Amino acid sequence: MEAFWIRSARIWGVLALTALAVWLGMVVFYAPVEKVQGVVQKIFYAHVPNSLPAYLGFGLTALGGLLFLITRRESYDRLAQAGAEVGVVFCTLIVVTGPIWAKPVWGHWWVWDLRLTATLVLWFIYLAYLFLRAFAYGSDATKTFASVYGIAGIIAVPFVKFAVELAKGQTMHPDDPAKAGLPAEMQFTLMAGFIAYLLVFAYFLSRRLEIAKLEADLQERLDP
């Protein structure tokens, strides 16, 4: 599985670049300007699609951690580490682009409502995972602890996903776009964003896995 991802990196890269170009073209020329918010609403297409790759990355961290604990195979630990790093990239973009959209629409960069706070907590959880991996490199105990931490952290994902429902209307963040009854042009542009970001995610993940494998091979050569 790891070998497949590493070998396919270039293909993911070409697909991701093509999809990004199509998505940007759709944002500029195809998606309509929203009547109330105006052109600033188009931040929507850059903000929302970050969610799926972030959740997927953290999901792979939990899955890789679980499989590592069961099998003790290093490749699963590398998958967990790669998933967290790429997931944090996309989660950072959620946390950064959200306030840029919120300021002109809500009048505030940030409000402490359930969805925003839960997303920030999720970001901190996996940022801490990356710090753990960076500063406590290598030992089996670190890998075991990181696996358990990565699995425990995934609990935050459904909490973020369903935060708007859980808040029962006490949130400024809009609900799931699928439920909002968007016009077809907006839905297609959003869909193109999800596809483009998922392909970018696949490319980053494959390259990050390759780096982790190269590091492991070098480490083995230096310390057989």
Partner 1 sequence: MSYLIAAYTIVLASFVGYWFSLRSRRQALLREAEKPQSTGPS
Binding site for partner 1 (CB under 8 A): 20, 24, 27, 39-40, 42-43, 46-47, 50, 89, 92-93, 96-97, 100-101, 103-104, 200, 204, 207-208, 210-211, 214-215, 217-218, 221
Minimum CB distance to partner 1, residue 194 (Å)? 14
Nearer to partner 1, 143 or 208 (CB): 208
Nearer to partner 1, 164 or 199 (CB): 199
Minimum CB distance to partner 1, residue 34 (Å)? 12
Sequential DSSP letters for 18-54: HHHHHHHHIIIIISPPBTTTBGGGGGHHHHGGGHHHH
Pairwise CA distance, residues 220 & 167, whole Å:
50
Which residues have a Cβ under 8 Å from the Cβ of 113 and sit 6 or more positions away? 167, 170, 171, 172, 173
Minimum CB distance to partner 1, residue 200 (Å)? 6
Minimum CB distance to partner 1, residue 169 (Å)? 26
Q: Are 119 and 168 in contact (CB under 8 A)?
A: no
Nearer to partner 1, 59 or 99 (CB): 99
Pairwise CA distance, residues 150 & 185, whole Å:
38
Nearer to partner 1, 179 or 217 (CB): 217
Q: Are 197 and 90 in contact (CB under 8 A)?
A: yes
